[in-house]
């Protein structure tokens, strides 16, 4: 993990062979809300800065819908592609951005996993889609979990915690502490259940709500409720 600076903006970066993963921050006021002119302009700036043919994203609806990127904006929360120089990404401001990389088949995925998507097992379903459509094997898949509201800060209802803890997949894992839910632990449980090795799971360990090291948007804890970060991945043509 490293910090990449682009003009006055800072990104958290991972690079593996020809795969580039970037999690934006709120540094410099960088906002990727795609429902605003500012957000659309910033997406175009990213496209130019990284010499990308296109940037794919979805109209996020807190679902378990997974799509192969075809250039269209659909209602859903996970995108997959094996095309080079075409970034795919998700917008977040507390929800969990998850990037999946199959280093063997050269397949990438970007997932928006809020509590609804996590509860609907969207990460599990994206891995299944990679396996069924692209022939990915669990041993070749790596997962990267970006900044999100952590179990330290994510207060939810008792009923929601009970809904999560009642699932078999979390039966042997402590995913809550009093009234706080740890979405990251839930997502890691989904990844582990699909046979992905522990060493292949990389976390930024950054909470959008309480982190002092980075400037971040938090829907729960920021004055700017419209601010969005963009987490994206692309296969570089080298």
pLDDT tens per residue across span 58-117 = 999 999 999 999 999 999 999 999 999 999 999 999 999 999 999 999 999 999 999 999
Which pLDDT value is given to residue 237?
82
- The reply to whether 93 falls in a domain is yes
- The reply to whether 10 falls in a domain is yes
- The reply to whether 159 falls in a domain is no
How many domains, in total, are found in the chain? 1
According to the 3-state scheme, what is the secondary structure of the chain? Answer: CEEEEECCEEEEEEEECCEEEEEECCHHHCCCCCCCHHHHHHHHHHHHHCCCCEEECCECCCCCCEEECCCCCCECCEEEECCECEEEEEEECCCEEEEEEECCCCEEEEEEECHHHHHCCHHHHHHHHHHHHHCCCHHHEEEEECCECCCCCCECCHHHHHHHHCCHHHCCCCCEECCEECHHHHHHHHHHHCCCCHHHEEECCCECCCCCCCCCCCCCCCCCCCCCEEEEEEECCC
> Which range of residues forms the domain containing residue 219?
2-148+200-235
Which pLDDT value is given to residue 4?
85
- The reply to whether 157 falls in a domain is no
Q: pTM of whole model > 0.85?
A: yes
Which pLDDT value is given to residue 222?
66
- The reply to whether 131 falls in a domain is yes
Which pLDDT value is given to residue 221?
78
- The reply to whether 178 falls in a domain is no
* Ranges of residues in the chain whose predicted pLDDT is under 70: 222-225, 238
For position 104, which CATH number holds? 3.60.140.10
- The reply to whether 72 falls in a domain is yes
- The reply to whether 224 falls in a domain is yes
């Amino acid at each position: 993990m490293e910090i990449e600076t682009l003009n006055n903006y800072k990104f958290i970066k991972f690079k593996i062979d020809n795969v580039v993963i970037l999690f934006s921050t709120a540094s410099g006021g960088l906002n990727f809300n795609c429902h605003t002119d500012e957000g659309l302009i910033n997406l175009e700036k990213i496209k130019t800065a990284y010499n990308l043919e296109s940037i794919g994203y979805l109209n996020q609806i807190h679902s378990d819908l997974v799509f192969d990127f075809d250039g269209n904006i659909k209602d859903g929360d996970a995108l997959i592609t094996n095309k080079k120089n075409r970034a795919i990404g998700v917008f977040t401001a507390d929800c969990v951005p998850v990037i999946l990389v199959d280093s063997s088949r050269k397949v990438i995925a970007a997932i928006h996993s809020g509590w609804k998507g996590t509860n609907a097992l969207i990460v599990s379903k994206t891995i299944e889609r990679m396996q069924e459509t692209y022939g990915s094997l669990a041993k070749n898949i790596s997962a990267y979990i970006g900044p999100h509201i952590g179990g330290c800060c994510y207060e939810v209802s008792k009923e929601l915690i009970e809904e999560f803890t009642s699932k078999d997949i979390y039966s042997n894992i402590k995913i809550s502490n009093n009234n706080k839910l740890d979405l990251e632990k839930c997502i890691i449980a989904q990844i582990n259940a699909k046979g992905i090795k522990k060493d292949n799971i990389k976390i930024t360990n950054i909470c959008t709500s309480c982190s002092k090291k980075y400037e971040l948007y938090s829907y729960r804890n920021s004055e700017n409720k419209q601010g969005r970060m963009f987490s994206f991945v692309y296969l570089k043509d080298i």
